[in-house]
Amino acid sequence: MTTSGTTAFSTTARDFVKNALLENGIIAFGDDPEAEEMTACLFRLNAMLKTWGARGLGWKQEVYTASGTADTASITLPVYVREVNGARYVESATNERAMSRFERDDYTVLPNKAASGTPTIFNVEQNAGALVLNVWPVPTADFTLSLDIDRALDTVTDASQTIDIPEEWTECVMTNLALRCCNVFGVSPTPELAQRAQLAEREMFDAYRPASYFMGPA
| Domain 8-57+167-208 belongs in CATH node 1.10.3230.20 | yes
* Contact by Cβ (8 Å): 199, 45: no
* Contact by Cβ (8 Å): 187, 26: yes
Cβ burial of 16 (10 Å; 0-12, 13-18, 19+) is buried
For residue 42, count other CB atoms closer than 10 A to its CB.
22
pLDDT at residue 3 above 80? Answer: no
Amino acid residing at 186: G
Which part of the chain is CATH 1.10.3230.20? 8-57+167-208
Compute the average pLDDT of residues 6-25. 84
Q: How confident is the model at residue 104 (pLDDT cuts 50, 70, 90)?
A: confident
Report how far residue 175's alpha carbon sits from residue 161's, in angstroms, rounded to the nearest whole number.
Answer: 19
Alpha carbon 87 to its chain centroid, in Å, reads 18
* Contact by Cβ (8 Å): 80, 130: no
Compute the average pLDDT of residues 95-115. 92
Q: How confident is the model at residue 217 (pLDDT cuts 50, 70, 90)?
A: very low
Q: For the segment 121-137, what is each residue's pLDDT rounded down to a tens digit?
A: 999 999 887 899 999 99
Determine phi and psi for 151, rounding to 5 degrees: -105, 140
> What pLDDT is stored for residue 61 in this prediction?
83
> What pLDDT is stored for residue 216 in this prediction?
40
Q: pTM of the full predicted structure?
A: 0.65
